[in-house]
C-alpha cells in the first residue's frame, strides 16, 4: 500500500513537527509506504527531518527552466529533496492544466527522476451522465508515459469528492479501478498490473480501512486529514 498526504497550500516551518511525528510513527513500523507532498517551501527542511517518509512535491512546471516567473521545474524540486510529485491534481486542472500540459508535466517529472503520481477524476456533471470511466481512462491515456517508470502511480480522485466529505460507493471505486487496470494492461501488458491505483477524496481515519479493503486498490491520497499526525497516523494504521 502507498499512502500519500497532500498538504496543498498549508503549512509553515512550525508544521514540520507534524512531518517529524508522522515519520516517527512510520519508523516504528508501518505496513504502508508513506509519502508527504508538502509545499515547495518545506521540501528541503522536510527531507532533512525524515528517515522513513518519502517527501514529494504537489506539482511542477512542464519546462526545464527559463523565463517562467514564480514557477518551479521538476529538477529544482528534485534538487530540493522531492522524490515524488503529484501531477494533474484536479485543483491544478481547474487552474488551467489541460491534458496537453498534464502530459508535458509528466514528461518533465520523469525526466528529472521524480516518481509521478498522475491524478485522474470526473466532475459531478460527468458522473451524472455516466461518463466516469471514459473520463478517467481518457486522462490516463493522454498523460501516461510510453513505458512504465519507477514509482509511477495513478490516483483516482473524483473532483466532487475532494474536500467535500462525499465519497463514492466502494463498488463504484472498484469499477473505476477495474477500468483503469484494464487500460493499464492493454497499454503496458502484464507490467500494467504492477502500477498502483490509489483512491483520493475525503479520505479520513473513519473510512480508510474500508477504502483500503477495495479490490486492487493500491493506497490512498489524503488531503485535509494528512495535515497532522493525529489525523494521518490512524489512516496509516488502517493499512495494516
Ligand atoms: P481531501 O483532498 O482528502 O482533503 O478531500 C484529497 C486531494 O485533493 O488529494
pLDDT tens track for 127-151: 999 999 999 999 999 999 999 999 9
Mean pLDDT of 226-235: 98
pLDDT higher than 90, residue 240:
no
Kindly report the pTM of this predicted structure: 0.98
Which pLDDT tens digit goes with each residue over 16-48?
999 999 999 999 999 999 999 999 999 999 999
User: What pLDDT band is residue 85 in, cutting at 50, 70 and 90?
Assistant: very high
Phi-psi region at 232: left, alpha or beta (left = phi > 0; alpha = psi -120 to 50): alpha
- H/E stretch holding 69: none
Q: Which atom of ligand 1 is nearest to the CA of 162?
A: 5
Rounded Cα distance between 178 and 11, Å, is 35
Residues in CB range of 38: below 8 A, 6 or more apart? 7, 11, 19, 46, 55, 56, 58
Nearest atom within ligand 1 for CA of residue 203: 3
pLDDT of residue 190: 98
- Name the residue of 89, 200, 206 whose CB sits within 8 Å of the most ligand 1 atoms, as the mutation to test its pocket: 200
pLDDT band at 199 (very low <50, low <70, confident <90, very high): very high
* Confidence category of residue 183, pLDDT binned at 50, 70, 90: very high
Give me the catalytic one of 18, 25, 89, 91: 89
CA dist 85 and 179 (Å) reads 24
State the chain's mean pLDDT as an integer. Answer: 98
Mean of pLDDT values over 217-222: 98
Pocket test for ligand 1, best of 91, 203, 228, 235 (most atoms within 8 A of CB): 203
For position 98, what pLDDT does the model report?
Answer: 98
Amino acid at each position: 500500500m502507498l499512502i500519500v498526504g497532500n498538504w496543498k497550500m498549508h503549512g509553515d516551518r512550525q508544521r514540520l513537527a507534524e512531518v517529524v511525528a508522522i515519520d516517527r510513527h512510520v519508523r516504528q513500523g508501518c505496513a504502508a509506504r508513506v509519502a508527504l507532498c508538502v509545499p515547495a517551501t518545506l521540501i528541503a527542511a522536510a527531507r532533512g527531518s525524515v528517515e522513513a517518509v518519502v517527501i514529494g512535491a504537489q506539482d511542477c512546471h512542464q519546462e526545464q527552466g527559463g523565463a517562467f516567473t514564480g514557477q518551479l521545474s521538476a529538477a529544482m524540486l528534485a534538487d530540493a529533496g522531492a522524490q515524488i510529485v503529484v501531477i494533474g491534481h484536479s485543483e491544478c486542472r481547474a487552474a488551467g492544466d489541460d491534458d496537453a500540459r498534464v502530459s508535458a508535466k509528466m514528461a518533465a517529472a520523469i525526466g528529472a527522476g521524480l516518481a509521478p503520481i498522475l491524478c485522474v477524476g470526473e466532475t459531478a456533471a460527468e458522473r451524472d451522465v455516466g461518463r466516469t470511466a471514459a473520463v478517467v481512462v481518457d486522462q490516463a491515456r493522454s498523460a501516461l508515459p510510453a513505458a512504465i517508470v519507477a514509482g509511477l502511480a495513478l490516483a483516482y480522485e473524483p473532483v466532487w469528492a475532494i474536500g467535500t466529505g462525499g465519497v463514492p460507493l466502494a463498488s463504484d471505486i472498484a469499477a473505476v479501478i477495474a477500468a483503469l487496470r484494464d487500460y493499464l494492461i492493454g497499454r503496458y501488458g502484464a507490467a500494467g498490473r504492477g502500477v498502483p491505483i490509489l483512491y483520493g477524496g475525503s479520505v479520513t481515519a473513519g473510512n480508510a480501512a474500508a477504502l483500503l479493503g477495495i479490490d486492487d486498490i493500491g493506497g490512498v491520497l489524503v488531503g485535509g486529514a494528512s495535515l497532522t499526525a493525529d489525523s494521518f497516523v490512524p489512516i496509516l494504521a488502517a493499512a495494516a
